Amino acid sequence: MPPDVVEVEIYGNKYKIKQPEGGVDVREIAEYLDAKIRAVAQNAPTASSLHLVVLAALNICHEFYDLKNGSLRDSRLAEEKVDLLLQKLETLQASNSRNV
């Protein structure tokens, strides 16, 4: 097996996956996915493997969108705060230059 290929197990199936250089450890990602599928399986024990994988993928996508939207919202709030601080600084500079 090439050195950049790792073997992982996801929901009882083994896969050989190329590890991207400088990327997150593929094993860690596989463990996360395996845990998500197993969590879904506890709530739907009679579902097919494909159904479990799709439900786990939907859950992961939901987490991703929550993080993405939260990050965007946080970025907008930070920009608004920076703008407000800049306005206050400009106001202070203007009043100081009038007093000199």
* Each residue's pLDDT expressed in tens, for the chain with a length of 100 residues: 788 899 999 999 999 999 988 878 999 999 999 999 999 999 999 999 999 999 999 999 989 988 888 877 777 777 888 877 777 777 777 776 666 5
pLDDT of residue 99: 63
Beta bridge partners of 5: 18
pLDDT of residue 22: 82
pLDDT of residue 65: 86
pLDDT of residue 59: 92
Which residue has tokens 């993405």? 68
Q: How far apart are CA 100 and CA 28, in angstroms?
A: 62
| CA pseudo-torsion sign 37, 7, 15, 67 | positive
What spatial distance separates the first Cα and last Cα of the chain, rounded to whole Å?
A: 75
Beta bridge partners of 14: 9
pLDDT of residue 100: 58
Instruction: Compute φ and ψ for 4, nearest 5 degrees.
Output: -95, 10
Task: Report CA Rg, the chain.
Answer: 24
Please give the model's pTM, rounded to 2 decimal places: 0.67
The burial class, CB within 10 Å (0-12 / 13-18 / 19+), for 40 is buried
